C-alpha cells in the first residue's frame, strides 16, 4: 500500500468555517503533512448552518426520525457546504501542487453534523458528497458518511480522530501515554499508548467526548453580542465564575458515565439556560470554567496518567481556557504546535487520513474509541464525473 495524498475537510460544531488539509499516508503511517486552507463562513452562511441545526433539533423524534419539514433548512445549508468545501479543496490542492509538486488522489468529507443521537442509533451529517466529487474544482473520489456504520454497529460514532492521533503519536516519537484534547464546539479526548502494536489493538486507545468546549460560550456570546465567540477569552477574563450556576443532573450523569461516550452539540442546553441573569462577562467565565471542569473530570477515566496533554482546536487560542485547564490537570497542557503540529488543521488532517483507510478497507473505529463491539470500517465513496482538474 503505497502512500497517497488526500485532502481532508472539516466543518465543526463551532460553525466558524471549513478547514482543508493535505496528508500523504498509506492509511497506517503518516508520510507527510501537507498544506492546509481555511475558508471562514460569512455571517449569512453561518446563520444558514445554525438554522439547519435548529431544524434538526426541532424536527427529529426517536420513533420517526427526521421530519420532512427540516428539508428546506438542510437544502440551504448544503448549498453553503458545497460552495465552501469545493473552494477549500481547490485552494488546498493548488498549495499542494505548488509546495510539494503533488496531486491529491482522494477527498475526505466529514459534512456538517446537525444531530447526533447514538443512543437511538441515529447520527446525521448533511452535505452532498456526490455533488462535491463532481464539482469542477474537485473531480476526485470523495469519502463521506464516516459515522453511520459505527452507530449502526452499536458504537457512539464519535470521536473519529483517534486512529489519526495514534499515527501522530508515532510520528512525533512519543513513547509514553499522552492525550490529544480537541477543543472545538464539543470537547473530546484521545488517550494514546504509542507503544501498542497498532491503533485497533486492545488498550491502544481510549477516546470520548468530554463535554462542551466552545459551543456553549459561542452560543452565549451570539445571543448577547451577535458575535459567535469570545475572542481571546476577553469576556471570560473580565468576568467572575458562578459555580452555583453549574449544578446539572444531566451533566453529572454524563460525566460519571464510563467511556466510550459521545455528545450532541446541544446536550448541555440546560447549562446554557442556567446562565440567564448573569452579565455577558460572568456568563462567559462560568461557561468556560464548565468546559474546563468537564475535561478535568475526563482524566479520571484514563487507564494511566498521561505524560502530557496536547491541545488542538479553537479553544487552545483562548488563554482563559488554557489557564483553567492548567490549574485543573496534573500534567503539562500544551498546544500541539509545541510538537510541530498545526492545531487548526488536525481534524481536517484526520479525515484525509481516515479517507485513505476507508479506501483500503482498514478500520476507522474500534471498541476503545467508540464502544463498538469490533473494529468497523465506515465511510462511503462517491465518484466524480468527467476529468480531474489540473491542480
pLDDT of residue 250: 65
Q: What percent of the chain is modeled with pLDDT above 70?
A: 98
Q: Does the pTM exceed 0.85?
A: yes
pLDDT of residue 263: 85
The CA–CA distances, whole Å, from 294 to 191, 211, 236, 258, 325 equal 15, 6, 17, 14, 10
pLDDT of residue 185: 86
The CA–CA distances, whole Å, from 247 to 230, 251, 272, 273 equal 23, 8, 11, 12
Which strand (E) or helix (H) includes residue 298?
A: helix 280-298
* Residue 387: count of CB within 10 angstroms of its CB: 8
pLDDT of residue 34: 98
Sheet with 186-192: list strands edge to edge: 205-212, 186-192, 178-183, 309-312, 333-335
DSSP state of 279: -
Q: One digit per residue, pLDDT tens: the chain, 391 residues?
A: 899 999 999 998 778 899 999 999 999 999 999 999 999 999 999 999 999 999 999 999 988 899 999 999 999 999 999 999 999 999 999 999 999 999 999 999 999 999 999 989 999 999 999 999 999 999 999 999 999 999 999 999 988 999 999 999 999 999 999 999 999 889 999 999 999 999 999 999 999 999 999 999 999 999 999 998 999 999 999 999 999 998 766 688 889 999 988 888 888 889 999 999 999 999 999 999 999 999 999 999 999 999 999 999 889 999 999 999 999 999 999 999 999 999 989 999 999 999 999 999 999 999 999 999 999 999 999 999 876 666 5
- Grid coordinates belonging to 197: 502494536
Q: What domains does the chain contain, in order, with CATH numbers?
A: 4-158+346-382 (3.30.420.40), 174-339 (3.30.420.40)
pLDDT of residue 195: 96
Amino acid at each position: 500500500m503505497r502512500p497517497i495524498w488526500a485532502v481532508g475537510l472539516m466543518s465543526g460544531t463551532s460553525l466558524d468555517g471549513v478547514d482543508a488539509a493535505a496528508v500523504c499516508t498509506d492509511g497506517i503511517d503518516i508520510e507527510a503533512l501537507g498544506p492546509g486552507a481555511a475558508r471562514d463562513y460569512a455571517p449569512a452562511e453561518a446563520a444558514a448552518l445554525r438554522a439547519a441545526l435548529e431544524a434538526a433539533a426541532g424536527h427529529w423524534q426517536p420513533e420517526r426520525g427526521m421530519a420532512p419539514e427540516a428539508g428546506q433548512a438542510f437544502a440551504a445549508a448544503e448549498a453553503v457546504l458545497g460552495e465552501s468545501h469545493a473552494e477549500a479543496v481547490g485552494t488546498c490542492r493548488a498549495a499542494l501542487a505548488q509546495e510539494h509538486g503533488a496531486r491529491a488522489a482522494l477527498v475526505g468529507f466529514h459534512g456538517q453534523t446537525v444531530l447526533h443521537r447514538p443512543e437511538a442509533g441515529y447520527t446525521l451529517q448533511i452535505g452532498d458528497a456526490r455533488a462535491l466529487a463532481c464539482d469542477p474544482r474537485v473531480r476526485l473520489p470523495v469519502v463521506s458518511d464516516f459515522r453511520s456504520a459505527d452507530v449502526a454497529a452499536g458504537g457512539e460514532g464519535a470521536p473519529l480522530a483517534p486512529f489519526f492521533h495514534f499515527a501522530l503519536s508515532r510520528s512525533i516519537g512519543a513513547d509514553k501515554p499522552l492525550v490529544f484534547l480537541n477543543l472545538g464546539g464539543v470537547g473530546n479526548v484521545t488517550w494514546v499508548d504509542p507503544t501498542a502494536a497498532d491503533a485497533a489493538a486492545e488498550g491502544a486507545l481510549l477516546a470520548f467526548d468530554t463535554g462542551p468546549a466552545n459551543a456553549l460560550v459561542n452560543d452565549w456570546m451570539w445571543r448577547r453580542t451577535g458575535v459567535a465567540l469570545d475572542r481571546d477569552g476577553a469576556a471570560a477574563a473580565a468576568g467572575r465564575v458562578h459555580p452555583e450556576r453549574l449544578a446539572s443532573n444531566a451533566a453529572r450523569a454524563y460525566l460519571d458515565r464510563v467511556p466510550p461516550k459521545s455528545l450532541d452539540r446541544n446536550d448541555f442546553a440546560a447549562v446554557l439556560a442556567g446562565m440567564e441573569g448573569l452579565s455577558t462577562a460572568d456568563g462567559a467565565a462560568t461557561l468556560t470554567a464548565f468546559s474546563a471542569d468537564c475535561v478535568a473530570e475526563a482524566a479520571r477515566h484514563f487507564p494511566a496518567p498521561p505524560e502530557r496533554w496536547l491541545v488542538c482546536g479553537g479553544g487552545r487560542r483562548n488563554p482563559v481556557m488554557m489557564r483553567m485547564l492548567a490549574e485543573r490537570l496534573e500534567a503539562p497542557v500544551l498546544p500541539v504546535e509545541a510538537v510541530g503540529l498545526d492545531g487548526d488543521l488536525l481534524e481536517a488532517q484526520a479525515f484525509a487520513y481516515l479517507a485513505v483507510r476507508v479506501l483500503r478497507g482498514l478500520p476507522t473505529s474500534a471498541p476503545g474509541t467508540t464502544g463498538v463491539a469490533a473494529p468497523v470500517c465506515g465511510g462511503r465513496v462517491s465518484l466524480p464525473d468527467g476529468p480531474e482538474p489540473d491542480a
